[in-house]
Amino acid sequence: MRIGVLTGGGDCPGLNAVIRAVVKTAIHQYGDTVIGFRDGFSGLIKDKTVPLDLPSVSGILPRGGTILGSSNRDNPFRYAERRNGQATQSDVSDTVVETYRKHELDCLIVIGGDGTLEIAHKFTAKGLNVIGIPKTIDNDLSATHVTFGFDTAVNTVMEAIDKIMTTAESHHRVMVVEVMGRDAGWIAISAGMAGGAHIILIPEIPFDMERIAEQIYTRKGRGKHFTVIVVAEGAKAAGGDRIIKRIVEGSSETVRLGGVGDMVARELEELTHLEARCTVLGHIQRGGTPSAFDRILSTRYGATAAVFAHEKKFDHMVALRTPDIAAVPLSEALHQMKRVPPTGGHVETARRVGISFGD
């Protein structure tokens, strides 16, 4: 077979491990030819390719990012560009089909999150054979138990909390750590529990500033003169809404969240008269070498995707259904966000060990 591969959306640890596994399985097991498309769907729109052979994927297992490059702005069905100084959007999906045909592809493996996989699904209606691989540090795709990149992001945040914990205790401060996750609190609750945070604020449980202040006073009454709060970027106060940092036109995710950590720190200073500081971890959560768990999961995803290509399981996505890797129809995998259940196991365990959710 001739197999194409692209990585779309935001980067995350494990992308290179997936690419490596696709290439090594396709070549070792089937003798296939693999072609990489650069910078997400832009590579198909502009025919930017790179041959993927065994030497090209040698040594990339531990590397973060993606050797193919990525983009979350190049939706072929709403391709944004400037003409005569004016911003325009046009449908260039037929150009993608032409590129696919030009390279005589038998299958296109698309590695990405909800937005990227939705685009991939649309191309099946245009006759392309597509297989999806789920990628997001947010872990918010419902069709798979875990997405690769999540474990590494959680470990990155946990290490940051470990460091912030010591300075919080030394200076008797309230320290707020804002983390990614958009409308799902998986990173916040997982890293918060692992790092020993005292308060965790997630989108699924609206918080009350007075209740957070009460928790801080309760800790002071026990002789604990510092508090570490982990807040997901999509968390919101009861009766309030998410804090939007900016709008980015042309992106698959136009709404960029951010600022809730600063708001929490500022309001807590006013309520408690204690010194509060906020640290926003930002894109550090996307970077770095993947954890052992993510390397293994990425390898399983990539290798299985190559097998599914030969089994003609097109318009499907590989998914972890512990302990197996299964094929899930893309139509079922999309638009079903997996959020933290407010009464589920993670929240219940956290409450049992004294963690507050500000409610």
CB-based burial label for 319 (10 Å; 0-12, 13-18, 19+): buried
Beta bridge partners of 276: 174
Write the CB contacts of 311 (distance below 8 Å, at least 6 apart in sequence). Answer: none
> What is the C-alpha separation between 71 and 310, in angstroms, rounded?
28
**Contact call for residues 191 and 231 (beta carbons, < 8 A):** no
Quote the Cα angle for 111-21-286, to 5°: 50
Catalytic residue among 74, 114, 138, 151: 138
Is 208 a residue of the active site? no
Q: CA 62 from chain center: how many Å?
A: 18
**Contact call for residues 128 and 3 (beta carbons, < 8 A):** no
Quote the Cα angle for 13-15-19, to 5°: 150
Q: Which residues are catalytic?
A: 138
